[in-house]
Amino acid sequence: MYKFTPIIKKKVWGQENWVLSAVPGDESIVAEGPDRGKKITDIFPGQFPLLVKFIDAREDLSIQVHPNDELAARRHNCKGKTEMWYVIGASEGAHLLSGLKEQINPEKYVELVESGKITDVLCDYPVKAGDVFFLPAGRIHAIGGGCYIAEIQQTSNITYRIYDYGRLGLEGTPRPLHTQEAKDAIDYTVYPDYRTRYTPEKDKDIELVKCPFFTTDFLELTKPFSKGAQGGFLVVMCLEGEGTVNGIRMKAGEAALLLDEDLSIIPERTMKLLTSR
């Protein structure tokens, strides 16, 4: 099992903690053990497919969308970005945006962005700890201020910023928008609900998301838990509490990578985790 040195990204709206990354130029470094100092690219064959983050949003993030694999390959020679959010904590009144609530076309989209009214057609969800949202590439979305979120996504750093409330970046200049690039990336399909529904059950792994790029389960443990290796890799994110994972201590805000290993978790009191493969 490997733990990595966090990569902290300061943002105009708050902070991201990249706990597992193979994004070129931001590769995670093993933090301890005999492989300390090695990059994830040294221990994992090929490109590691997931980017794993903790996001602390003190202000609203920009409204954005990500391209799918086909569009990202054509424009940027990289993978697209499908992702998911697990809300770890939320202040009173915290919310996020996910998906369209009414049908629009590309021309209407441009009109709404230019008039500053794009939020009028987006679904706005009040959120609380435990809420889950799956965000396939092409879905317009934004995290609101007051949300603390675990994010699991494809290894890609391609974001099309649609609208940013006229905000200045950390350098004191307006952040660039990608209105036209996003126009062709958006999935204009309207769905009745964009929240992921699940029923928590203690001491059992509960599947939250299964898609072509990752499968993520939720664990709320009050006693030891074990599971046999399923081949390949397994990412473990600690959301709450602390304990040991395969004999190594883990606490909230940390992540670890298992490579073809059995999983063994011993919680101290209640421990909440996500596992992704």
Chain length of the chain: 277
Pairing of strands 147-154, 50-57: antiparallel
The answer, yes or no, to whether residue 199 has pLDDT greater than 90, is: yes
24: left (phi over 0), alpha (psi -120 to 50) or beta: beta
Return the percentage of the chain with pLDDT > 90, whole number: 92
The answer, yes or no, to whether residue 163 has pLDDT greater than 90, is: yes
Q: Tell me what pLDDT residue 175 has.
A: 85
Helix, strand, or coil (residue 145): coil
Helix, strand, or coil (residue 208): strand
Q: Tell me what pLDDT residue 171 has.
A: 82
Q: Tell me what pLDDT residue 258 has.
A: 97
Q: Tell me what pLDDT residue 79 has.
A: 94
Q: What is the pTM of this model?
A: 0.95
Q: Is 27 exposed, middle or buried (0-12, 13-18, 19+ CB in 10 A)?
A: middle
Tell me the average pLDDT of the chain.
Answer: 96
Q: Which helix (H) or strand (E) holds 120?
A: none
Q: What is the spatial distance between Cα 274 and Cα 276, in angstroms, rounded to a whole number?
A: 7
The answer, yes or no, to whether residue 46 has pLDDT greater than 90, is: no
Mean pLDDT of all residues in 189-200:
97
The answer, yes or no, to whether residue 2 has pLDDT greater than 90, is: yes
pLDDT, tens digit (0-9, with 9 covering 90-100), for 136-159:
999 999 999 999 999 999 999 999
pLDDT, tens digit (0-9, with 9 covering 90-100), for 111-138:
999 999 999 999 999 999 999 999 999 9
pLDDT, tens digit (0-9, with 9 covering 90-100), for 7-39:
999 999 999 999 999 999 999 999 998 999 999
Q: Tell me what pLDDT residue 259 has.
A: 96
DSSP-derived letter for residue 69 is H
